[in-house]
Amino acid sequence: MSDCTVMLSDGRKLGFAEYGQSDGEVVFVFHGTPGARFQIYATRLESIAKEGPVPLRIIVPERPGYGLSDAKEGRTLEDWCQDIEALADELGVERFSIVGISGGGPFALACAYRMPTRVRKIAVICGLGPIDILGQEGLSNEEKTCLQGPEFTRAYITQLANMVNADPDRFTAYYISNLPKLDRELISDDLVPVFKQFAIEAARQVEGMIDDYVIFGQPWDIPLQKIQVPVAFWHSEADHIVPIRHAEYLASLIPNAELHRMQDYDHTGSVLAVQLELYDFLTSG
């Protein structure tokens, strides 16, 4: 994995990390909320790709206000599409697929609509749907708290950051130990240091998470019925963070979208559990 930044036309820095092989098929992975360029999911996908027939170049950009990326006041889904297009241009990448994880889902679907000639495929795992339509029923208490407004999100992420900064190792051990058994079993020893770095970088700034939840609480302004890029959803029936009805709604509107239902795994575990299927989806056709 390598750490990088690029300078955008408005003077902002955009941070990202690269995994995999430089000559592989390009996949952008959009992190959840909170998030960072350090991703256990990208690490696992990188390992699978090393053993597979098709190499992958995996790029994990940090949205404005996360990690190394400068914040952008009043940012929108459209703004993120422009950032990704600029990053792809800077890296010399013409065509790419996108994986949107949890809170990264809306940003992935926005790119699918806005960049149909550049995006090959979209995978959304445990993704959030439009709150203005679906409401907050079934969301976790943390999600509901942050959707109350920026001051509530700021208080939540500040408390989380204080816990991480006080003792990153203790926070990491505490978080993993409190995952459901099936989810916890999927986090192998080699992923623990990656998760710790994720926690540190996710807590580096507060604006990213605040702005994400402002976006989540507003209409997406994406005509889902007009998305022509192949889209596949993976979502667990047991997800207690984002209920599966979010994926059901999105898949019902996007033409020819696939919905893969999972059982037993919760939010974290289901993303790790689908990595082999995800690799096959990204590299087929």
Instruction: Give the type of residue at 41.
Output: Y
pLDDT given at position 47 = 96
3-state secondary structure of 278: helix
Once rounded to an integer, what is the mean pLDDT over residues 218-245? Answer: 97
Sheet strands (E) in the chain: 2-7, 13-20, 25-30, 56-61, 96-101, 119-125, 231-236, 258-262
**Alpha carbon distances (Å) from 108 to 121, 151, 185, 224, 281:** 10, 26, 28, 12, 16
Q: pLDDT digit string (tens) for 29-62?
A: 999 999 999 999 999 999 999 999 999 999 999 9
Tokens of 156: 């939540």
Once rounded to an integer, what is the mean pLDDT over residues 138-167? Answer: 96
Q: How many CB atoms lie within 10 A of CB 94?
A: 10
Looking at the structure of the chain, the number of domains it has is: 1
CATH of residue 142: 3.40.50.1820
Instruction: Give the type of residue at 232.
Output: A
DSSP calls for 145-156: HHTT-HHHHHHH
Instruction: Give the type of residue at 68.
Output: L
Tokens of 106: 């809306």
Q: Which residue has the tokens 């699978």?
A: 48
Q: pLDDT digit string (tens) for 55-101?
A: 999 999 999 999 999 999 999 999 999 999 999 999 999 999 999 99
Measure the CA angle with vertex 27, ends 24 and 29; round to 5°: 140
pLDDT band at residue 174, thresholds of 50, 70 and 90?
very high
pLDDT band at residue 159, thresholds of 50, 70 and 90?
very high
Q: pLDDT digit string (tens) for 232-259?
A: 999 999 999 999 999 999 999 999 999 9
Structural domain boundaries, residue 122 = 2-283
pLDDT given at position 285 = 78
Q: Judge whether 252 and 225 are in contact, CB under 8 Å.
A: no
